[in-house]
Each structure stands twice: as structure tokens, then as C-alpha cells.
Amino acid sequence: MWSFETNFWQELVDRVKKGVNTERMHEDVTAGTGALSKTAQSVFQTLMTDGPLSRAELSRRLSLSAAALTKITRPLLAADLFVEVPSDDDAGAVGRPPQPLDVNVDFAHFAGVKLTGEAIFLVTTDARGGMLSEREVALRSTEPEDVANQIAELVAASRAVDRLIVGIGIALSGNAVRTSPVVRKSPFLRWQDIPFGDLVARRTGLPVTLENDVRAVTAAEQWFGDVPSDSFVMLTFGAGIGCGIVANGQQLEGHLGGSGLIGHTRVDDSGPLCYAGHPGCAHAYATIGGLQIRISQAHGESLSYEDCLALHSRHDPAAVAAFNAAGRAIGTLLALVTNMIGPDRVVISGEGVDIYLRSADAALARMRELLHWTATEVAIAAKPMQFSEWARGGAVVAVQEHVRGLVANAR
């Protein structure tokens, strides 16, 4: 719910008490519980993702009359949650031209965190996920209480210069879902059943939302990505393999967050073992560690990921073979998600995105071999991201939960 220093509704009343009937405003917009109605929710979210929009376009998209739309938007404009913006058609207009509506992106700011096994990446954003600041610090310890203390210090420093920060979203690898403050399991942090959301909330005094890091970056792509899409898949390659799924406008979370677990899909029965002992799974081929092992074994020495990239650039036979094998594994996963989900696009990212970029021909060839003959056409785009973008995903999760808390109708 709303988390400014004062109660939201009192703040709203204070802002509009001059000239606005607050009792009628509350009746019109809320469900009687301090939350906005379902219709207001639709208006809010549509403007969040697609604004600015004219009133006529909003009415058309949401099947609302002009009077109903005015009834909803008037108090939100008065409360500075919505703003009117100049129209491109204003020039030369006679009288007061209609002005498109948009969300005031500074009605609240958010902190987003991406946790790795070694570092904390923290960003602050506006309400549309626009980056305001970013920081990276090494973890002093992976003990949950120590990490929570370190995050609290970073958030306190951010809030010292930005009092509009009202929520925190934390993205991490492993089993974490928005509906629970507990990290069920995080392999890289070696955590199991840790109430990490509560630890951070107690230290910051702010609402905290946990989310799997791949689903967090998928949420950012869904709401604020460059290419609008109601059905897409996010595949990430790095230390592991992640898969975020949006189908018909809804991100799939699965039971206890168990969706998108495709990294250990077997792609070659006679292939090498992954760290978990699975023969020939995608993880053994198409992760940074998997590539390093295969190319290091071929050269008889321990090589870094950067070494592997350099060898591939020099057309080293072992490196070329390892990248092509990784591409075939990626192509298998591309075919799998396309056949099962039917997305219109697949976005490939992660710190190991170069694995795909250097093996795209092999990946696409393998994908075509395995696609169902009736599968619809899918666009595939590589989107390199820094860890700050993953932290932004955490912030977007916090934005989404804040908006849902603000506008969710009592069920």
C-alpha cells in the first residue's frame, strides 16, 4: 500500500481540499477500503505502460464513457498522480485544446537491488522505471543478516537525498516469489528458507518485495520494454540459465515460483556432466562455467570466460566447437519455449549473452530442426544488460506491487 511519510488518503485530502469534494472523490475512486476501483486500476496501469494517451484513446481502449473516465481521473489529477501533458496538436488550436494524460513519474520513487554471490547492485528509479542513480558494492558477507544490513545502509544513503523512495524490490537467483518474504533457496548465496524480505523491511521501514531475478527483469521488459508484447519469453545465459515467460499479458510464476526451470533440459544423451551430475544438459553447454570447462579441458589449462571469448575470436578450433555446441543447446531451448508457449518474440540476455551472439547460426539452425511445423513465427533479439538493469528489474517489481496495492480493488 501507499508508503509516504503520512497516510496516503490524508495526503490526498490535504492536496485537494481546496476546491475538491473529498467525500465524493473517495466515493468515486475507491472501493471503500483506501484502494482504487478495478476500473481506476485499469486506467492507472494503462497510463503507466502506454502513456501519455488522450482521453479519447483511453476511453476507447478501456470501453469507458467520457463521463466515467473524467469521474475517475479528476481526483487522480488533483492528487498529482496523473498529469496533463502538451499535445503535438496544440499548436494553432483555437481555445483550450484537449491534453493527453500521463502518470506523474515522480509521484513515488523506488529502490531496486540485484544480489549476486559477490556484490549488491542498487538503483533508484522513478515510477516508470527510469534510472535515477546506481551503485555497486562488494558483499562483506553472504550471511543474511549482514546482507540485509548492507542493503539498509545503501537504501538509507539513497533516501537521504531522495525522500520519494517508498519501496524496495530485491531480485536474486533462486526460489523467491512476490507473495512471500522468504527465500526458499538461493544456490549462489547458499540460502535456504531465509525470511530475507522481513530482515530488510525491519531495517529500512519500507515495504520489500522479493522476486526471482529473471522474472524481475522480465517484468521490466513487459511493462517498460522497447517492443510492446503480450506474449514473450526472456532467456538469460550466464552462471546459470533462466527463463521468464509472459503469456497473454500475464507473467507466469508457477507453483511456489517454479516456472521457467529449463536450464537442465537434456540436449545430448552422451554429453558432458553439469555441476549437478546431469549428462548432456543445456547447463553443461550454454553457461559461462560450462564453456570454460570444455575449452579449458581442450587446452589443458584453466581459462577465464574472457580467455574463451578471445580464443573464439581467433577461431581456435576447440573454442569454435564449444560455442557451436552451446548454440545447438540454445537452439533446443528456443524450440522448446516456442513450441510450448507460442511467443511472438524471445529476448536473450544475461552476462553470458555473447554465448548466443557468437553461436546464433548454430542456435537458429537447431531451432528450425526442432520447431513444430505449425509453430508461429517468432522474433529473436539479443539484449545485453548490465547488472544495474537486473537491479532495475527489482525496482520495477516494487513499482508493480506498489501500484497494485494502491489500485487493487478489495476482492
Q: Are 206 and 176 a contacting pair, CB within 8 Å?
A: no
- SS3 state of residue 27: helix
Q: Which residue has the higher pLDDT, 26 or 143?
A: 143
Give the C-alpha separation, 51 to 45, whole Å: 9
pLDDT band at 410, cuts 50/70/90?
very low
Cell numbers linked to 66:
467520457
pLDDT value at residue 25: 37
Whether 370 has a pLDDT exceeding 90, the answer reads yes
Q: Which residue has the higher pLDDT, 402 or 291?
A: 291
pLDDT value at residue 88: 65
Assigned CATH for 8-104 = 1.10.10.10
Q: Which residue has the higher pLDDT, 261 or 203?
A: 203
Most confident of 29-38, 99-108, 361-370, 373-382: 361-370
Per mean pLDDT, which range of 265-279, 300-314, 328-342 is the poorest?
A: 265-279
Q: What is the pLDDT of residues 274-303, one digit of tens each?
A: 888 899 999 999 999 999 999 999 999 999
Give the C-alpha separation, 182 to 117, whole Å: 18
Mean pLDDT score, 215-229: 88
pLDDT value at residue 8: 40
Domain ranges of the chain: 8-104, 109-219+389-403, 227-384
- Pairing relationship of beta strands 345-349 and 232-237 according to DSSP bridges: parallel
Q: What is the pLDDT of residues 69-87, one digit of tens each?
A: 988 888 888 888 889 988 7
In 281-364, beta strands by DSSP E = 345-349
pLDDT value at residue 400: 86
Q: Are 222 and 208 a contacting pair, CB within 8 Å?
A: no
pLDDT value at residue 36: 56
Helices (H), 255-287: 282-286
Q: Which residue has the higher pLDDT, 402 or 404?
A: 402
pLDDT value at residue 10: 41
Per mean pLDDT, which range of 14-23, 227-236, 319-328, 392-401 is the poorest?
A: 14-23
Indicate if the alpha-carbon torsion angle 179, 182, 186, 189 is positive or negative.
Answer: positive
8-104 and 109-219+389-403 share one CATH topology? no
User: Which overall architecture, per CATH, does domain 109-219+389-403 show?
Assistant: 2-Layer Sandwich (3.30)
Q: Which CATH number fits domain 227-384: 2.60.15.10, 3.30.70.420, 3.30.420.40, 3.90.245.10?
A: 3.30.420.40
pLDDT value at residue 354: 96
Mean pLDDT of the chain: 86
Give the C-alpha separation, 46 to 16, whole Å: 24
Give the C-alpha separation, 262 to 339, whole Å: 14
Cell numbers linked to 314:
581467433
pLDDT value at residue 22: 35
Neighbour tally for 20: CB within 10 Å? 17
Q: What is the pLDDT of residues 238-284, one digit of tens each?
A: 989 999 999 988 888 888 777 888 999 999 988 898 888 899 999 99
pLDDT value at residue 1: 29
Neighbour tally for 292: CB within 10 Å? 17
Q: What is the pLDDT of residues 50-65, one digit of tens each?
A: 889 999 999 999 998 9
> What pTM, to 2 d.p., does this model score?
0.82
pLDDT band at 15, cuts 50/70/90?
very low
Tell me the percentage of the chain whose pLDDT exceeds 70. Answer: 87
Whether 224 has a pLDDT exceeding 80, the answer reads yes
